[in-house]
Structure 1
């Protein structure tokens, strides 16, 4: 028994020495960081309940550029406006790769617009941007769709008759319908089983990915595949979403007219047909399925979560809500619905939306980046293929850019003349080459939804405004607001 124990001990010592040797091989190249343990890396220094806060604290000790070991994987972490801006904007091409995210990669296999790399990503992004623009993204035609959809939402809110309700699902159905109209060519009835299934699956995955289970899965995917827990639902949910999208694609194939595309799917199918003889083509059915999923997720989760945070903030600070409503009444009145053209005359409302996005930090770490080549950065040499975490929360809370950043204060986005004042450190859609391609659509939706709702209703909390807690219930992929109910009082 002693010889067996000795052999095991020697083996562990050898493995430990090998790990430390490999992990220290590039110390002169990568920035310094906390010393890792074998296999575990720096997990003991990371709070599984809030990895964002843990990484932010480490940046105060090791600086705005440091290396952390997530398990056996070396990742460079960037914090603060100047550092993140230098990487994503000034060195945008070098930092334009998409980093590892096992919880989603197991589904996408690096396919689709959000998780692809290299030439495939560039081709898909260019195609998607052009196609979305053709179907009205950022134009008046999509504004009309948003206004039509908001009228359905207002009718649903009216049905609450001032009684308490949870706004999560009703908002989700509405905002999901906007991106669905672009992708699938039409909106869904609020009771349509496909719409309800899509929203349930997207919500569940976003919550899991933002929870400790999602964080642990990304660190140890091979191990967690054998461990029971809610993370096991991820693959089930992904498969169901893929099946729902595939059914819609088959319906489109049966009625496709290449000369008259109805939506994003029609355009993608036409592109597949045009390049079917090209062995190097990046347009395939599976790529369409993954890209459609990316657009659905991005167009539903971040917007719906931001709106729920806006509701919480407006109830906690009723004086802000009252001032927004005063501006709506003065600029728009009650005879018509607010429109995008009104935004320029409503600087305070626009400032409130900016501050909600800054304060809420819905995607506090964004998605991981990756350097596409050996990159010299701030005195370090980051090897090609190294994953990068950009702490966007430290950009939005950077005291050199925002005075008293922990406070909610819309005035920070207004100048001395009470006109809208933007900031280069405002990055809710990230920045650089991987900046969200749906930014213009999201900004339009946020403005139209909030102004249309506040024109007709006042948001009333169930308790005292000062008791409202704005602390996220989960902070991982996303900052998720705590569950809440409210009352919509007709104005």
Structure 2
């Protein structure tokens, strides 16, 4: 009897001891998390954070750029939010945005890298790198893009040739409903591919279509809750299935695709006669001893992938929004077509030289960028040293998010902010630049492909409306609902491209 009682007491004590240790551990973690998250003195105000996850659960991850606006109303134009253990500050309003990107620019050149990005690219490439790597890769990318046609007639002619191929592909639909997503992606991507890989890809190339699909899926899923949780609990999430694992697999496949292209280049590479970006980079790699610069195999892969991503996603998504708006606003489409007929006619393609004579078409493209709002918080920046902004203290490591959603829908800046209205960019019938229009960001880390994107949007959009009238399919209602990822894209939809007589 005594031995049985002793055994029971011993087991009870062991159980209590285990629960005590577990409770102590949880208490310690919560305390450590609280101390780590405690707002520094004079840090911008914001909603109270939850342990470990911060403010993530207080945002609708399907439309975080929309739900954040209610916090702006409550806490003001400089507010703080925590994404996991990352302290972020959201900047709203043109005066503040200009102040941050001019007076503070040297302190925010760094790009924050979350754990998902760290695992994917490890500070390689040009989009998400910082320091010496970013400086070298951006300088080289800009120089090489110019060498291979950026800003020259040769690249404009390449755009005109490609849009002719796209027009022929769309004509094959014979005015019936079709999803324009990947044909537009392929066509736009072919421009940057001609510079990076030295070739274009047919719209029925199954391997390239798979690359575009993998890229689209990765861009969408990187904003998913599973990826957010990976950034907070990587030691657990790396063992669990979910969309984060799909993202990692997709990027590995995309890397393999670029690696195979590099291997093909090496077989007949002539350092004295570079054909494209990859050739030029291979030549640059021979100029420096290993490990003294960022010109190595990993950066060749990632800078090429970054150019592929940036040169495909943003322009093609903007074009998809623009065509969707045309189908929804037929009166605007008619005015664009009337201007095209008057300035360009039907016997030739539009050129960039025509843009100045086509203010309405130019205004429509800009309005599609404004309302499409495809990068609603800009690409994030990170404060590289303790600094102050309007009386608030921003410690080193604070992430800066630019509230382009509020800027591009500010009723003080735009007459009808929620409505597609090309008049926002017109004054007395002439095109009017708007200071409060920043889809390409500003400063030293502004989009390096801005000139290319602007040219592509004009050439592609004008050619498509010169040849087709875009309409909703019969008995199908088009929607302006969006899909949230690294970019804001239209939900899957079909259009009818009716050939113009």
Normalising by structure 2, we get a TM-score of 0.92
Q: Does 1:145 align with 2:154?
A: no
**Counterpart of 2:323?**
311
Work out whether residues 382 and 397 of structure 2, in 8 Å CA contact, stay in contact via their aligned partners in 1: yes
Secondary structure at the aligned position of 2:471 is classed as: strand
Asked if 2 retains the 8 angstrom alpha-carbon contact of 1:100 and 1:368, the reply is: no
What do you get for the CA RMSD once the two structures are aligned?
1.9
1:434 aligns to what?
445
Task: Identify which range, 151-160 or 65-74, moves more after superposition.
Answer: 65-74
Indicate whether 1:154 and 2:167 are aligned: yes
SS at match of 2:431: coil
SS at match of 2:286: helix
Counterpart check, 1:485 vs 2:494? yes
Deviations 1:254-284 (A, max 9, x none): 2111211111111111100011x26421100
* Segment of structure 1 superposing worse, 64-73 or 449-458: 64-73
Report the alpha carbon displacement of residue 13 of structure 1 after superposing the two structures with TM.
3.2
Q: Give the whole-Å Cα distance in 1 for the aligned partners of 2:405 and 2:475.
A: 28
State the SS of the aligned residue for 2:369.
helix
Distance 1:220 1:479 in 2: 26
SS of the counterpart of 2:105?
A: coil
* 2:102 alignment partner in structure 1: 89
- Contact 1:167–1:308 (CA<8 Å) still a contact in 2? yes
Task: Give the gaps of 5 or more residues in structure 2.
Answer: 1-14
Cα distance in 1, alignment partners of residues 256 and 308 from structure 2 = 14
Tell me what 1:458 maps to. Answer: 469
Distance in 2 between the 1:220 and 1:62 partners?
29
Residue number in structure 2 paired with 1:402: 414
CA distance in structure 2 between the partners assigned to 1:468 and 1:197 by the alignment = 27
Q: How far off its partner does 1:315 sit?
A: 0.7
Task: Point out where structure 1 has 5 or more consecutive residues left out of the alignment.
Answer: none
Aligned positions, number: 486
1:108-147 equivalence runs, <5 A:
108-147=121-160
Contact 2:84–2:231 (Cα < 8 Å) also in 1: no
Matched, 1:17 2:31: yes
1:413 aligns with 2:425: yes
Verify the 8 A CA contact 2:328 2:471 in the aligned structure 1: no
CA distance in 1 between counterparts of 2:269 and 2:145 reads 18
Cα distance in structure 2, aligned partners of 1:234 and 1:178: 25
Map of 1:356 onto structure 2: 368
Of 264-273 and 92-101, deviating more is: 92-101
Please state how far the C-alpha of 1:14 moved relative to its aligned partner: 3.6
2:9 match:
none
C-alpha deviation, 1:214, in angstroms: 4.2
C-alpha distance in 2 between matches for 1:207 and 1:232: 13
The corresponding residue for 2:312 is: 300
**Aligned with 1:372: secondary structure?**
coil
Whole-Å separation in 1 of the counterparts to 2:293 and 2:249: 30
| In 1, Cα distance between equivalents of 2:265 and 2:497 | 39
- Distance in 1 of aligned mates of 2:292 and 2:394: 30
Say if 2:145 and 2:195, in contact at 8 Å, map to a contact too: yes
Q: Is the 8 A contact 2:478 2:493 kept in 1?
A: no
Task: Give the SS at the match of 1:434.
Answer: coil
| Corresponding residue for residue 238 of structure 1 | 251
Q: In 2, distance between residues paired with 1:439 and 1:315?
A: 26
Q: Kindly name which structure, 1 or 2, has the bigger radius of gyration based on alpha carbons.
A: 2
Residues 355 and 409, structure 1, Cα contact 8 Å, conserved in 2: yes
Shifted more, 63-72 versus 122-131: the winner is: 63-72
Counterpart of 1:56 (choices 31, 53, 69) is 69
1:288 to 300, 314, 317: 300
> How many Å separate the matches in 2 of 1:273 and 1:207?
37
Aligned position for 1:475: 484
Q: Deviations over 1:323-360 (max 9, x none)?
A: 00000000001110111111000000000000000000
Would the aligned equivalents of 1:364 and 1:476 in 2 still touch at CA under 8 Å? no
Distance 1:13 1:103 in 2: 28
Residue number in structure 2 paired with 1:30: 43
Deviations 1:204-252 (A, max 9, x none): 1122224444444445444433332233211111111111111111111
1:170 equivalenced with 2:183 (yes/no): yes
Instruction: Tell me the TM-score normalized by structure 1.
Output: 0.94
CA–CA separation in structure 1 for the residues paired with 2:106 and 2:225: 32
Determine the structure 2 residue equivalent to 1:99.
112
C-alpha change, 1:263 and 1:215, in structure 2 (3 Å) is: same
| Higher alpha-carbon deviation: 139-148 or 476-485 | 476-485
Which residue number in structure 1 is paired with residue 350 of structure 2? 338
Aligned equivalents of 2:381 and 2:432: distance in 1? 29
Residues 109 and 382, structure 2, Cα contact 8 Å, conserved in 1: yes
Q: Select the residue among 259, 283, 286 that pairs with 1:270.
A: 283
